Amino acid sequence: MAVRVLQICPFDIPQEPRAGGQIRIEAIAQAYLAAGCEVVRSCVVTRQRDVRRPADLVLPWIDRIRRKHVGKPGHLGQIRQHWASSRSRALQHQLAAHLEGSYQIVHVEHPWNVALMHAMRHHPSLSSARLVYSAHNIESALFKSVVTEQGHWNRAARSLQQEIFEIEMRAAACADLVWAVSEHDAHQLENAANRVLVVPNGCRALPQQPTPSPFGAIKGRYALFVGTDYGPNVNGFLRMLGDDFTHLPAGCSVQTIGSCADVLKTHPAHARWLAEGRLVHHGRVDADTLDAALLQAGLVLLPILAGGGTNLKTAEALVSARPVLGTSHAFRGFEDWRSSPEVHVQDQPAAFRTLMAELLARPTDFAIQTDVLRHQSLLWPNILRPAVQQTLQA
């Protein structure tokens, strides 16, 4: 009989995940399925119209608008889910109505709903289940990083950071097993946790050859930036690449993919470079076009200055086997790759731009040496298979 896994998610997972957390959650579900498990997913959403699965949970309306303490930062994200389960049993009742049969594993993504599932551990369907806390970041450190980057690090933010730290430490303590994305994160959690597995981020397999796309028609070499409109992505791009693109070699350009374009295209200082084609924003593209863009890039950029966990875009850039230029922060969890051929690290904006220009100026037939087996170690199945097996045997 197949092992049954209940996967609890703090946001919806679309059929084609695009954001980093969505991609990791879907990859984890696929790894359980590949191991012969049955996976039932329950996502916490904010409105009834967003429900897409029988076991999806709707956050009570009072918790959608709730600010637990006066003076807290306005954007509170998924911490409201933790407050909701602490305030009442509404989410418990919603989930209990859809539980049938027995589950052997409850896999909770992020810390916000670990307390909810711990409170439900005596439910007949969950009484024999192992509780896995799947940590995507050290959430308190991520919160501080983002708020500081925004210039909002004040007394209220410090208070909320402490509360987030306590939530994730309690999540680690009450879980039977914790998944951490890096050795650094594991070290932060191991004092509270019963057992920690390091399960880093990975990437899908890229095709051997790019499919036809607009990127194949680009004349001249280009540096590629892929990212969402998440604040650290946009701020890192603007700070590291600056407002002056005259340093780019003749015929070269910077191309971006993702919802980052929604913000970057409104940056006034870039208007000239957009008009001249030195900077081009493609917005959201399909998976084949993204793969083609990566495989044909002269350089993949990782100008990441803030954030937590490990960056899926770093794994993606490394798997592409193209030259990569990033900050030290971009390689958290991938430190061993920093000494690899064609991986370049620079943290000073002016030096970053100079090195970008030098790398783009190299001959188009510049030979790139790749270690195929090492790159395959970054693929999701190869990363998650051993983690799932250890979880099933725990």
In the DSSP assignment, the letter for residue 269 is G
Unique residue bearing structure tokens 């993919």: 257
Segment of 14-23, 25-34, 207-216, 313-322 carrying the highest mean pLDDT: 25-34
CATH number (3.30.300.30, 3.30.70.250, 3.40.50.720, 3.40.50.2000) of 214-376 reads 3.40.50.2000
What is the structure's pLDDT at 354? 96
Cβ–Cβ under 8 Å, residues 55 and 41: yes
Tens-digit pLDDT profile for residues 307-325: 655 588 899 999 988 999 9
Q: What residue spans define the domains of the chain?
A: 4-202+380-393, 214-376
Look at strands 177-180 and 279-281 and give their pairing.
unpaired
Cβ–Cβ under 8 Å, residues 195 and 172: no
DSSP secondary structure, 42-82, as one string? EEEESSGGG--STT-EE--HHHHS--SSTT--S--TTHHHH
Q: What is the mean pLDDT of residues 343-371?
A: 83
C-alpha–C-alpha distance, residues 319 and 202, integer Å: 9
Cβ–Cβ under 8 Å, residues 31 and 387: yes
Q: What are the φ/ψ torsions at residue 179 (nearest 5 degrees)?
A: -100, 125
Domains 4-202+380-393 and 214-376 alike in fold = yes
> What is the percentage of the chain residues whose pLDDT exceeds 90?
63
Domain 4-202+380-393: CATH superfamily is Glycogen Phosphorylase B; (3.40.50.2000)
DSSP secondary structure, 158-206, as one string? HHHHHHHHHHHHHHHHH-SEEEESSHHHHHHHTTT-S-EEE----BPPP
Question: Strands across the sheet with 4-9, in order?
Answer: 57-58, 38-45, 4-9, 105-109, 130-134, 177-180, 196-198
Residue 301's nearest CA partner among 330, 259, 262, 341 is 330
What is the structure's pLDDT at 373? 60
* Residue 18 Cα distances to 7, 42, 309, angstroms: 19, 19, 17
Cα angle: 258, vertex 263, 266; to 5 degrees:
125
**pTM score of the predicted model:** 0.88
Tens-digit pLDDT profile for residues 194-251: 899 999 999 998 888 888 999 998 989 999 999 888 778 888 999 999 999 999 999 9
